[in-house]
Structure formats: C-alpha cells, structure tokens
Amino acid sequence: MSQPKPRVLVVGGGITGLAAARALARDGARVVLAEAAPRLGGKISTERTDGLLLEHGPDSILATRPAGAALVRELGLGEELTGTLDPRAVYIRHRGRLVPMPEGLGLVLPTRFWPFARTPLFSWPEKLRMAKDLVWPRLLPADDIAVGTFLRRRLGSAIVDRLAGPLVGGVYGTPIDELSLDAVVPQLRKAETEHRSLLRAGLADGAAMRAAAAKRPPGARSMGVFVSLRGGMGSLVDALARSLSDSGVDVRLGAPVASLRRAPSGVLARLGSADAPDEAFDAVILAVPAHAAAALVAPEVPAAATALREIPHGTSILVTLAYPRSAVAARLVGHGYLVPQSAGGAISACTWTSEKWPGRAPSDTVLLRMFVRDEGAWTQLPDDELAEHARRDAETTLRIVPGTAPDLVRVARWQGAMPRYTVGHLARVAAVEQALTAWPSVTVAGASYRGVGVPDCIAQGQAAASRVAELLSAREAPVELVPAV
C-alpha cells in the first residue's frame, strides 16, 4: 500500500514562505500555507493608483543573486523583467549639494581608479588616507567585526561616513559601525585575504568585469545590477499565488498560527484562532520574522526561542510622494540621492522612482520614494509628521516650488520588522539552527537569517523545502534489518 503524501505547514506568506510552499508542492507534499494577514506577499506590497505604480516594500531584485530572476523565469514572467533606466547615477548629498557617486563604484570599493581619484566627494588628504590601504598589512581578526570598524581601519573614516554607511548601512537598516562583516559583505574578508589591499582587490574586480563585458555580443546591454518586474514586485506574488493554487496548495489567509506542539508524527498546529482544533503535520517551515518564530517554538524548545530573540529587528518606514513635474526645478539625471548620517535629518535616502524604472508614473509626474532614518526619535513620529519631513527634504534638495502640495502621499511603516545583521549575526543564526535540532520537524527560513534581499529569501525558502523533503524521506526509509548472529 502506498504511503500517504506527507503534510507540511508553511507559516508566513511572504516571499520566503511562498517559495518554500511552491518547492514543497513540486516535491509532492500536501502543503498548507498559513498567513496571518488578509493578503500574501508580506513586505512585498505593490499599489496601483491613478497611473502610478507604488512599491511600499522592495522595488528591485539583485540580479547577481540567481534565485530571484530564476524563479521569475520559471513562473513564465521572464519577459516582464526590466532593468533600470539610464543614466544610472546616484548622488550623495554632501554639504547641501548633490555630488555624483564616483563611476565604477563596486559594493563599496572603487573598480576604476580615475573617477575615484577625481571625485569631489573626498578631499586630497582623505584620498591619501585611503591610499594607505595599499601598504597596510592584513588587519582582519579571525572573528566577525563591524563593516565600519574594518573599513575605517583600512581606508579611513571619510569613505565610511560618505559612501559605505549610506550605501550598505542604508540597505540593511543598521548603522555601519554595528553591521556584521561576515554576514553582509563576506567578499571584503575574501578581498583582504586574497589581495591584502582592498583597493587592489576592487581594481582587480573591475578589470575582470570589464573583460567579461567585452565578451558580450556587440549591442547587448546588461540589465544592470537591479531588476524588477514591469507590473511591480506584486506580480511575482500574484504569479506565485497562481502557481500554488494550480498545484493544490491550501492557502489560508487571515490565519495566524497560534501555537505549535510536538506530536509523535511531527507537529500539532493551531491555525486561525486560539480555539480552532489542532491539525497534524509531518513538518513545519517557519517563514516568519525571528521574534514571531520564537513565540511559536518557546513552549517546546525554550533554548531555540532564546536564540531567536537574540536577533534584533529595527523599523523601516517609506514615504512616497508624487509631484507635478512642472514644480520640480532640479534636473533629475539618475536614480536618487543618499544622505550621510552626519548630515542629520529624518531622511536617509530618496529614490527618483519615475526616473529609475520605466512605467512607474505618467511623464508629467515625479515619483519619489523616501526612506526614514531608523533612529528612535524619527521612527516614533506619526505618519503626517514624517510625510512633512520628507516633503521638506525633497523641496530643498530638488528645488521644488515652495509650498507645492504633493499630489500623493503614502507612508508605509514596517514596525520592528527589519532584521538587523549586527556583529556576530551568523553565530546567532547557527545557535538557532543548533537549538532547533532538538525538534527536527520544525525549520526556520527568511530575512531574519541568511540574507534580507528577495533572492536570498527565495533561496532560503527553497533550501528549507529541501531540508524538509530530506527529513521526510529519511523517516520513510525502511529500517535495515541486521541479522542476529
């Protein structure tokens, strides 16, 4: 008699949970996906209104991480992929002026010498300080260290405060002097190990990239480092939802998982409400932020809950503004600007969405996506005050006719939802995974652990599905009978 198919619960319908559920269903499991909110997507949240396409969460997929674009293509959305518009310039607001980031900047290291040597972003003494990196010996300790601390030692503080901080710290919503090197930019450790000097490593990378580009057929233009979908990131969620429905996944919305208990066959879960009957599952994937996972595993594996609660989370707030183009005096040539922490103010970055992506706004409209600095005082402010700070920042930086009211204002608040990869992050994740070996039927995946970007979350969801498949096939495997001697 054939075994019944295993029944697996995926908790959380963000991109991690959706990717996990799809992979499990393809492996032949019976899957229930439980999402607390009334909609799928988690932080992926696309709104279409009055000819505008607004992203209240992620707006792009890092093309260098293959899991993202690969899933998009598998879902038949390959033609929907779009790169960013030219020119791809980004500016740093330095002493009140928008200074272009030097061309050929890699993650934080220059891949070309002259644009960096000529940039007005750094004084000559600051550039000479950076050049000391060429002669320093290797400085990295064996243990994890803050990205800021390491870069300050090698290259000086100017590059940290004006480039690396706004760029890398901004993406991770964590001050660069707290951000884990090993979790966030392990390539810097590799660069120092292999080349000793970071500047040499950056220039060597640049030469390799240019050689690869020269091999492309003439006229072929790379989509760039960031890609998105013409219909917005929400179309990825819609396509995943269709794929789950086609493969018979039982998707339950407005169904928070209230509790998990150990059972002989795996897990008993209570979905939807506290008085709902328990349902039995062979395995569970927790694709929810670490603090939500902690609450669910606490009764059975308190040590795992403690380890999960050690992963800190911050708040991310996005203010979207739309202005009539006629009111914006500055020429918007590029994708937006970053504001170093030392400049103060509530806004850490502003993306000119209408200039960055095709089809996001009518041609007579400028669409801006402004990030609020994740510092207690700012994130505590109510929405209307934050919108006012964003409006004033845009007004002065982009020379918007004073007093022009934006045509549209939206504030998206992701309270306590952004994992902070602080120094020691990977050790904390390893502690979580180790503690959970006490309950092998339960596994965790998602932004809190091994990468916050959408492609990393997809890869983690798929990897969690593989772990579950392995676990279940090991349980099914017939026990080998050893003959008695």
Ligand X SMILES: Cc1cc2nc3c(=O)[nH]c(=O)nc-3n(C[C@H](O)[C@H](O)[C@H](O)COP(=O)(O)OP(=O)(O)OC[C@H]3O[C@@H](n4cnc5c(N)ncnc54)[C@H](O)[C@@H]3O)c2cc1C
Binding site for ligand X (CB under 6 A): 11-17, 34-37, 42-44, 57-62, 256-257, 287-289, 292, 316, 318, 414, 417-418, 446-447, 452-454, 457
Beta bridge mates, 317: 372, 413
Taking the complex as a whole, how short is the minimal distance between the CB of residue 272 and ligand X, in angstroms?
9
- Tell me whether residue 270 or residue 392 sits nearer to ligand X (CB atom): 270
Taking the complex as a whole, how short is the minimal distance between the CB of residue 478 and ligand X, in angstroms?
36
Contact 18, 249 (CB under 8 A): no
- Tell me whether residue 121 or residue 390 sits nearer to ligand X (CB atom): 390
- Tell me whether residue 176 or residue 292 sits nearer to ligand X (CB atom): 292
- Tell me whether residue 175 or residue 453 sits nearer to ligand X (CB atom): 453
What is the residue-wise DSSP string for 120-132? TTS-HHHHHHHHG
Where is 59: in which H helix or E strand? none
Taking the complex as a whole, how short is the minimal distance between the CB of residue 15 and ligand X, in angstroms?
5
Where is 161: in which H helix or E strand? none
- Tell me whether residue 152 or residue 410 sits nearer to ligand X (CB atom): 410
Label residue 318 exposed, middle or buried (CB < 10 Å: 0-12, 13-18, 19+): buried
Taking the complex as a whole, how short is the minimal distance between the CB of residue 300 and ligand X, in angstroms?
15
Question: Within its chain, how far is the Cα of 78 from the centroid?
Answer: 21
Q: For the chain, state the CA radius of gyration.
A: 24
Taking the complex as a whole, how short is the minimal distance between the CB of residue 258 and ligand X, in angstroms?
7
- Tell me whether residue 80 or residue 133 sits nearer to ligand X (CB atom): 80
Taking the complex as a whole, how short is the minimal distance between the CB of residue 460 and ligand X, in angstroms?
7
Where is 318: in which H helix or E strand? strand 313-324
Question: Within its chain, how far is the Cα of 10 from the centroid?
Answer: 20
What is the DSSP secondary structure assignment for residue 37, as one 8-state letter?
S
Contact 98, 92 (CB under 8 A): yes
- Tell me whether residue 150 or residue 352 sits nearer to ligand X (CB atom): 352
- Tell me whether residue 11 or residue 155 sits nearer to ligand X (CB atom): 11
Beta bridge mates, 91: 100, 337
The sign of the torsion formed by the CA atoms of 190, 196, 198, 201 equals negative
Q: Which residues contact 306 (CB under 8 A, 6 or more apart)?
A: 294, 435
CA nearest to 22, candidates 243, 237, 242? 243
What is the residue-wise DSSP string for 450-480? S--SHHHHHHHHHHHHHHHHHHHHHHHSPPP
Taking the complex as a whole, how short is the minimal distance between the CB of residue 197 and ligand X, in angstroms?
30
Taking the complex as a whole, how short is the minimal distance between the CB of residue 316 and ligand X, in angstroms?
4
